[in-house]
């Protein structure tokens, strides 16, 4: 079952975090591999969580409670795919530990400016001599697309300059970002087409012109190849900029926070990000300039 999920889902172009998914499958196979599907029960799932914590402490000194939940989510997805293909008919429930409190981090504008400056200016050092190579330059497009469109990492890393080449593409003529390829089935993670801010469109047009003679069809690329993960580069950029460590998802949270703080309605923010309005209300409403204003005004009236 896990092998089918690996071949028929993880290996597809739409899945960007292949390393993460493959790691989860390897751990699940190590624990559940000798079992039958009917043995996936509440008890065996609880045993997996305990095993995952124990193994995590032994291997890297950390306690991966959240990692166990993510692995079991992968197991659940694999079971659902297996059932969808008609390979089993019974209902197999995966019991997962409670989710921890979500930490919605976002960048302040000066932090984004520092990151962009570092990514643009940093040069590679070889044998103590600064070269012309810019090892963090590809992050500039990731940062700008992430913050100014609120797109998920998959849409950013899969983006191409023309349609049909990749699952998502940037339409510079119309100034929109097609985050979901036409003709592909929609998933639970909605990826609506969004209009890009004028300044972002101008920057991307300059980037496109710079790529024109290099046969580089990908919006985000490194040495001519599409980028699938920027974890190491982004961590390095944060260190050089002197700011807290972030992930590509932090850029999505930043977009939401900035929009709400400017007074954009939660419904419009949710539509722009392809998220639920409830999620926006839960995490960002307090940033609105009108947050609880009618309440405080009422309390202040005589």
Task: Select the more confidently predicted residue: 141 or 102.
Answer: 141
pLDDT of residue 63: 42
DSSP structural state of residue 223: T
What span, in angstroms and rounded, lies between the C-alpha atoms of 234 and 222? 14
Label residue 139 by pLDDT band (50, 70, 90): very high
DSSP structural state of residue 33: T
Q: At what angle do helices 266-273 and 248-261 cross, to 10 degrees?
A: 150
Label residue 103 by pLDDT band (50, 70, 90): low
Task: Select the more confidently predicted residue: 57 or 179.
Answer: 179
Nearest to 28 by CA among 83, 85, 68, 86: 68
Reply yes or no on whether the pLDDT at 82 is more than 50: yes
Domains observed in the chain: 2-84 (no CATH), 109-287 (1.10.443.10)
Compute the mean pLDDT over every residue in the chain, rounded to the nearest whole number: 87
Q: Residue-wise over 11-31: b if at least 16 C-beta within 10 A, else e?
A: eeebebeeebbeebbebbeeb
What span, in angstroms and rounded, lies between the C-alpha atoms of 216 and 123? 22
Give the count of alpha carbons within 13 A of 52, CB side only: 25
Reply yes or no on whether the pLDDT at 294 is more than 80: no
Reply yes or no on whether the pLDDT at 47 is more than 60: yes
pLDDT (mean) for 175-201: 77
Task: Read off the pLDDT of residues 108-129 as tens digits, 9 standing for 90 and up.
Answer: 999 999 999 999 999 988 888 8
pLDDT of residue 59: 45
Containing H/E element for 127?
none
Label residue 189 by pLDDT band (50, 70, 90): low
- Whole-model pTM: value is 0.73
What is the secondary structure of 33-57 as a DSSP string? TTS-GGG--HHHHHHHHHHHHHHHH
- 100: helix, strand or coil: coil
Label residue 204 by pLDDT band (50, 70, 90): very high
Label residue 65 by pLDDT band (50, 70, 90): low
pLDDT of residue 298: 83
Reply yes or no on whether the pLDDT at 234 is more than 70: yes
Label residue 299 by pLDDT band (50, 70, 90): confident
First to last CA, the chain: 68
pLDDT of residue 167: 74
Reply yes or no on whether the pLDDT at 177 is more than 90: yes
pLDDT of residue 225: 84
What span, in angstroms and rounded, lies between the C-alpha atoms of 277 and 18? 29
Reply yes or no on whether the pLDDT at 64 is more than 60: no
Integer angstrom CA distances of residue 124 from 3, 134, 138, 201, 220: 41, 6, 13, 29, 19
Percent of the chain with pLDDT over 90: 60
Label residue 102 by pLDDT band (50, 70, 90): low
Task: Select the more confidently predicted residue: 104 or 60.
Answer: 104
Contact 17, 153 (CB under 8 A): yes
Label residue 60 by pLDDT band (50, 70, 90): very low
């Amino acid at each position: 079952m896990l092998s089918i999920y690996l071949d028929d889902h993880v290996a597809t172009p739409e899945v960007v975090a292949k390393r993460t998914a493959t790691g989860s499958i390897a751990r699940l196979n190590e624990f559940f591999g000798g079992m039958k599907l009917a043995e996936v029960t509440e008890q065996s799932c609880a045993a997996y969580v305990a095993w995952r914590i124990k193994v995590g402490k032994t291997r890297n000194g950390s306690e991966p409670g959240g990692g166990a939940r993510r692995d079991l989510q992968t197991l659940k997805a694999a079971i659902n795919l297996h059932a969808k293909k008609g390979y089993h008919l019974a209902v197999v429930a995966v019991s997962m530990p409670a989710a921890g409190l979500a930490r919605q981090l976002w960048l302040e504008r000066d932090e984004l400016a520092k990151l962009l400056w570092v990514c643009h200016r940093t040069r590679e050092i070889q044998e103590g001599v600064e070269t012309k190579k810019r090892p963090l330059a590809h992050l500039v497009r990731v940062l700008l697309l992430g913050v100014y469109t609120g797109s998920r990492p998959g849409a950013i890393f899969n983006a191409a300059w023309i349609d049909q080449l990749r699952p998502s593409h940037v339409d510079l003529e119309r100034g929109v970002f097609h985050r979901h390829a036409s003709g592909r089935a929609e998933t639970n993670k909605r990826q609506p087409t969004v209009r890009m801010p004028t300044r972002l469109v101008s920057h991307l047009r300059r980037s496109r012109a710079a790529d024109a003679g290099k046969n580089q069809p990908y919006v985000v690329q490194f040495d001519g190849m599409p980028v699938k993960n920027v974890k190491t580069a982004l961590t390095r950029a944060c260190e050089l900029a002197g700011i807290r460590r972030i992930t590509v998802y932090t850029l999505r949270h930043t977009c939401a926070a900035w929009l709400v703080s400017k007074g954009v309605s939660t419904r419009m923010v949710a539509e722009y990000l392809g998220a639920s309005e409830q999620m926006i209300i839960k995490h960002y409403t307090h940033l609105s300039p009108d947050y609880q204003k009618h309440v405080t005004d009422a309390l202040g009236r005589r």
